[in-house]
Amino acid sequence: ATVRELVRSTNGTSWRLLPEDFGSVVLLPRSVGELLPGSCPTLVCLRWSESPPECPAAPSAQALLAAQAGGPSPSHAASKAYQQLWGGLVVADGSSSVAVVTPSVDLRGEERQMVMQALWQVLPRRSVYAHDAIETDMLKADYSRFPAIMVLTLLFMFGLISWTFKAALVPLKLFLTVVAPLFFVFGLILEAYELGTFDVFGIPHVNSDYGLHWTIPILAAPILTGLAVDYDVFLFARVYEFRQKGYDDRAAIVAGLAATGPIISGAGLVMALAFGSMLLSETRLTNEVGFALCAGVVMDTFIVRPLLVPSILMLGGGLNYWPQKMPEATISVAELEEHAEDVRLGMPISADRTTHLAAGALPSSSAAAATLAGGPAATLLGP
C-alpha cells in the first residue's frame, strides 16, 4: 500500500517514482518476474506462504527462499536472484528489513527534496534514511538560521565601523555598497549554474548541467561580505582622513581613490586569480565556490570600489560624516591636481597650499641635506 501510494502521488511529476524504482523483499523483483511464465503487473506484493492473487504464476516468498516445490515452482535463476536480494536487505535474524528506492530519473536539487517530502508523507520520518534525507535536513536547518546570522553579523560590523568613524549614516552607505552588490553577484551565479545563460560559451564545468549546490550562498556570502567591507573601509578611511585635513568633499574622494586605487586593485586582482583557479576543478562544489568568489571580488574591485562607492559618497556630501563636524573645506580638486603626485604618495596638501613632507619622505638623503642647508631643495617647501 505504501509503494502504491508513492507511485500514485508522484505520477505526472518530474520526480515520479516507478514500481521498478523500489527494491524490497515484499515486492516481486522485476528480474524475478521476467523469469516466470505468463505476465504479471508491474507492482506485485509477495505473500509469505502463498502466491500473490494479482500474479498466480509468482511463487511465495518462502518458496523462493527455499527453492522447494509446492505451488508454482520457481526456476533456479529466479530463486537465486530473490535470495541475493533477501541477503542484502534483511538482517541476519530475519526480524527486520530495509527497502531501497532508486529513482530512475536524474533528479536535481529541488526535485530531490520533493522526493524526500513524498517519502516522509507516507512513512515515519525516522524510518527514512538516505544521503538526500540528511542533506535536506541540513539544508532546512542551515537556511532557517542563515538569515538571522547574516543580519546579526552585518549589524555588528556596520555598527563597529560607524562607531569607529563616529558617523551615524555609514551603515546606510555600507548597505548600498556591500549588501546590494551581493544580490547582483548571486544573480550572476544563478544565471551560470541554474538558468544556463553561459552554456553557449562552452566553458568547461561552468554550466547548468547539475544546478547550483545549496551550500554556495552560505559559503560565499560571509567571505564576499568580509572582502567588500575590507576594501570599502580602506577607501573610506583615506577619504575621511583627507576631509579632516581640509579637502572639500569632491577633492577628498578623488584623493582617497588616488591613494588607495593601486593597492586595492592589486589586492583584488591577486584574490581574483587565486579564486579563479578553482574554476579549473571538475568538482562541482569547488567550481561553483570559485566562480562565486571570483565574480564577487572582480565586481567589488573594479566596479563597486572605483565607481559605486565614490558616487554614493558624492551624493552624501557632509552626511557621510554626520553628526561629526568637519573642518572648513579649503582645498579643491583644482588645487589637488597641482599636487597629484604628492597625493598619490600619501602626502596631503595643507590649507596654505604647501606640501608637508614628513621626515625621510624626500627622494634621497642628499636632497634632505640640501633642504636643511637652505639649498635648492628648499624650494619644495615654498609657496
> DSSP assignment of 321-380, as one string?
STBSPPPPP-B-HHHHHHTHHHHHTT-PBPTTS-B---TT-SS-HHHHHHHHTT-GGGGG
In order along its 383 residues, the chain shows pLDDT tens digits of 788 888 888 887 877 788 777 878 878 776 666 666 666 777 788 888 888 887 777 777 887 787 644 444 445 677 777 788 888 888 877 778 887 887 776 666 667 777 777 877 877 777 777 777 777 788 889 999 999 999 999 999 999 999 999 999 999 999 999 999 999 999 999 999 999 999 998 888 898 888 889 899 999 999 999 999 999 999 999 999 999 999 999 999 999 998 899 999 999 999 999 999 999 998 989 999 999 999 999 999 999 999 999 999 999 999 999 998 899 988 888 877 766 666 555 565 554 444 443 333 333 333 333 333 333 333 322 33
Residue 380 in grid coordinates: 619644495
Residue 161 in grid coordinates: 565601523
Measured between alpha carbons, how far is residue 122 from residues 9, 99, 105, 116, 127 in Å?
Answer: 10, 14, 21, 10, 11
Extended beta strands in 109-175, E state: none
Under DSSP, the state recorded for 203 is -
**Nearest in space to 317 (alpha carbons), one of 326, 304, 307:** 326
Return the bridge partners of 27, or none. Answer: 45
Q: Compute the distance between CA of residue 180 and CA of residue 316 in angstroms, rounded to an integer.
A: 17
**Nearest in space to 72 (alpha carbons), one of 61, 59, 84, 82:** 59
Residue 319 in grid coordinates: 552626511
* Long-range contacts, 259-263 (Cβ 8 Å, 24+): 259/343, 259/344, 259/346, 260/234, 260/235, 261/306, 263/234
Q: Which residues, 6 or more positions from 15, have their beta carbon under 8 angstroms from its beta carbon?
A: 103, 105, 107, 111, 112, 114, 115, 118
Q: Compute the distance between CA of residue 116 and CA of residue 119 in angstroms, rounded to an integer.
A: 5
Predicted confidence at residue 166, as pLDDT, reads 93
Q: Compute the distance between CA of residue 238 and CA of residue 85 in angstroms, rounded to an integer.
A: 72
Q: Compute the distance between CA of residue 143 and CA of residue 216 in angstroms, rounded to an integer.
A: 12
Residue 86 in grid coordinates: 533477501
Spatial contact of 348 and 255, defined as CB atoms under 8 Å apart: yes
Q: Compute the distance between CA of residue 5 and CA of residue 119 in angstroms, rounded to an integer.
A: 10
Three-class SS of 249-275: HHHHHHHHHHHHHHHHHHHHHHHHHHH
Q: How big is the CA angle at 185 (ends 183 and 191), to the nearest 5 degrees?
A: 105
Residue 210 backbone zone (phi > 0: left; psi -120 to 50: alpha; other: beta): alpha
